[in-house]
Chain A
Amino acid sequence: MEFVNSRKDDLPDLRVNIGSLKIANPVMTASGTFGYAREFENLMNLHRLGAVIVKGISLYPRAGNPPPRIVETACGMLNSIGLQNVGVDRFISEKMAYLAELNIPVIVNILGDSLAEYQEITTRLCGVPGVAGIEVNISCPNVKKGGVAFGTDPSMAAAVTEAVKERADVPVMVKLSPNVSDIALVARAVEDSGADSISLINTLIGMAVDLKTRRPVLANVIGGLSGPAIKPVALRMVYQVASVVSIPVIGIGGIETAEDALEFMLAGATAIQIGTASFVNPRASEEVVEGIGNYVISEKLPSVRDIIGQLSVDLQ
Chain B
Amino acid sequence: MSQYQEKATVIRTEQFSEKNYRLTLDSPDIARSAKAGQFVMIRAGFGKDPLLRRPFSIHQTSTNGQIQIYFKIVGRGTDMLARIKAGDDLSVFGPLGKGFVIHENFPALIVGGGLGIAPMLFLAKSICRLKGDCGNDQIILGGREKVEVEPLVKDFKEFGIKMLLATDDGSYGHHGLVTDILSSLELHNRCTVYTCGPEPMMARVYEICKVRNVACQVSVESVMACGMGACLGCSRPTSKGTYAHVCLNGPVFKAEELVWNS
Interface of A toward B, CB cutoff 8 Å: 32-35, 39-40, 42-43, 55, 63-72, 74-77, 79, 81, 84, 227-228, 256, 276, 278-283
Contacts and interface: CB of A to CB of B under 8 A. Distances in A.
Nearest to A79: B233
Q: Tell me whether chain A's interface is mostly helix, strand or loop, or mixed.
A: loop
A39 B49 CA distance: 25
Interface string B214-241: 0000000011111011111111110000
B229 A35 contact: yes
Interface residues of B, number: 29
10 contacts: A63-B243, A70-B234, A72-B223, A77-B51, A77-B52, A79-B231, A81-B232, A227-B51, A279-B226, A280-B53
B222 to A, nearest CB: 7
Interface in B185-218: none
A32 B243 CA distance: 17
Interface in B2-26: 2-3, 5
Nearest to B49: A75
B232 A64 contact: yes
A256 B43 CA distance: 15
Contacts of A39: 228-230
Contacts of B229: 35, 39
Contacts of A276: 51, 225
A66 B231 CA distance: 14
Which 4 residue pairs spanning A and B have beta carbons closest together?
A70-B233, A279-B226, A279-B225, A35-B230
B5 A281 contact: yes
B72 to A, nearest CB: 16
Nearest to A231: B48
Contacts of B223: 68, 70-72
Nearest to B227: A279
Given A66-B237, A70-B233, A280 B3 contact: no
A11 B261 CA distance: 58
A77 B5 contact: no
Nearest to B242: A63
Contacts of A65: 235
Contacts of A280: 43, 51-53, 225
A79 B226 CA distance: 12
B233 A75 contact: no
B50 interface: yes
